Amino acid sequence: MAWFNKIAKGIQQQKPKEIPDGLWLKCESCQEIIYRKELEKKLWVCPNCGFHIKIDASRYLQILSDENSFQEKDALLRSTDPLNFSDSKSYPERVKEAVKKTGLNSALLSGTCTISGIRVSLAIMDFRFIGGSMGSVVGEKVARAIERAIELKIPLLIVCASGGARMQEGILSLMQMAKTSALLSILSEKKLPYLTILTNPTTAGVMASYASLGDVIIAEPKALLGFAGPRVIKQTIGKELPENFQTSEFFREHGFIDIIAERKNLKVVVSQLLKYLYLPK
């Protein structure tokens, strides 16, 4: 399972970049120069071409939740180094850098909030933190978010952004797929709604577990989704990949996504769905 940031360069989509500083910003899709204030107002969607720029978990929280309704949970969970893993850098060093860069302890922000007045258990992944990769902490926080939904009898919403499982935790990362999928089966038995929002990119281990298991699956436009990375597929089959391959639109056409919603409509779509699936009839 690969991280998106190492595999997709130059193929299909651009590598998602974090928002740089500066008053004027260039859209990575159409290259148009845009005033920062304008982008902020448009929720970081290019006014020229509609490209959805990668945003962090706190911005999604702002977009989705009712003001001042969020209570963060499990914020102190931190990665350890179960394999004593080291490549060009040691794993603890990588984590430390990510913590410093993002101000977060992990690649997932979770808690409860209300969305149009409906209380939900919410989890939002943050791609800036080691490519949104899922290790034990992300898996555990998702597990607790599921259990919170069950305990409080409220819906679960997960916003996904991930290149897959975190290699530095080896087999422990892989098992987070099993752990989260197994717990979601309990949530499902309890008939509590589970919605997922897939953002650019959601691939590999996360896509092959909780991201694909929503009762309703929503995706932002033109996100890169899928199991294998485009470069791996290209190398395997030795052919060019079709246009729009592995985009949100591709997966909707093939029957794996329910709704493609622009960022500005996410909250409305989620609220509507919850009214059908959750609120008393």
Partner 1 sequence: MGEYFLAFEKPLYELRQKVQELREQQALSALDLSRELNSLEEKLKNMQRKVYSNLSRWERVQVARHPNRPTSLEYIKNMVENFVELSGDRNFRDDKAVITGLGMIGTHKVAFIGQEKGKGTNDKIFRNFGMMHPEGYRKALRVMHLAQKFGLPIVILIDTPGAYPGIGAEERGQAEAIARNQFEMAQLKTPIVIVIIGEGASGGALGIGLGDVILMLENSWYSVISPEGCAAILWRDRGEAPKAAQALRLCATDLMELKMIDRILPEPPGGAHWDPITAINTVKIEISNELDKLKNIPYPQLIQARINKYRVMGAWEEN
- List the interface residues with partner 1, window 189-248 (CB under 8 A): 189, 203-205, 207-213, 225-229, 232-233, 236-237, 241-242, 245-246
Among Zn ion, partner 1, none, the one that 142 touches (CB under a kind-dependent 5 to 8 A) is none
- Smallest distance, partner 1 to C-beta of residue 231, A: 9
Binding string, 104-143, against partner 1, x = CB under 8 A?
A: -------------------------------xxx-xx--x
Cβ atoms of residues 91 and 81 within 8 Å:
yes
- Contact region with Zn ion (CB under 5 A), list: 50-58, 97-105, 125-133, 173-181: 50-58
- Please name the residues in contact with 266: beta carbons below 8 A apart, sequence gap of 6 or more: 63, 64, 197, 218, 220
- Residue 226: left if φ>0, alpha if ψ -120 to 50, beta else—which one? left
Q: Which amino acid is at 87?
A: D
Please name the residues in contact with 30: beta carbons below 8 A apart, sequence gap of 6 or more: 46, 48, 49, 51
27 binds Zn ion, rule: CB under 5 A: yes
Tokens of 210: 């909780």
Q: DSSP E strands: which ranges in 5-68?
A: 24-26, 33-35
Query: Within a 10 A sphere around the Cβ of 6, how many other Cβ atoms?
Result: 12
Residue in 91, 278, 267, 262 with CA at minimum distance from that of residue 169 = 91
Contact flag: residue 183 with partner 1 (CB under 8 A): yes
Residue 8 binding partner 1, by CB under 8 A: no
The binder of 6, among partner 1, Zn ion, none, by C-beta within 5 to 8 A per type, is partner 1
Residue 233 contact among partner 1, Zn ion, none, beta carbon within 5 to 8 Å by kind = partner 1
In terms of CB distance, is 121 or 176 closer to partner 1?
A: 176
Helices 136-152 and 170-189, interaxial angle, to 10°?
A: 10
Beta carbons of 243 and 230 less than 8 angstroms apart = no
**Using rule CB under 8 A, residue 259 touches partner 1:** no
Are 242 and 190 in contact by the 8 Å Cβ rule? The answer is: no
Do the Cβ atoms of 145 and 139 come closer than 8 Å? no
- Check residue 29 for interaction with Zn ion (CB under 5 A): yes
In whole angstroms, the minimum distance from the beta carbon of 49 to Zn ion comes to 3
Which of Zn ion, partner 1, none has residue 16 at its interface (CB below 5 to 8 Å by kind)? none
User: Which partner from the list partner 1, Zn ion, none does 182 bind, CB cut-off 5 to 8 Å by kind?
Assistant: partner 1
- Determine, following the binding rule CB under 8 A, whether residue 156 of this chain makes contact with partner 1: no
Q: Which is nearer to Zn ion, 31 or 86 (CB)?
A: 31
Query: Is the CA virtual torsion 203, 205, 209, 211 positive or negative?
Result: negative
Taking CB under 8 A as the rule, does residue 173 contact partner 1?
A: yes
Which tokens sit at 90? 């040691």
Among 176, 199, 200, 248, binds partner 1 (CB under 8 A): 176
Q: Which residues bind Zn ion (CB under 5 A)?
A: 27, 29-30, 46, 48-49, 51
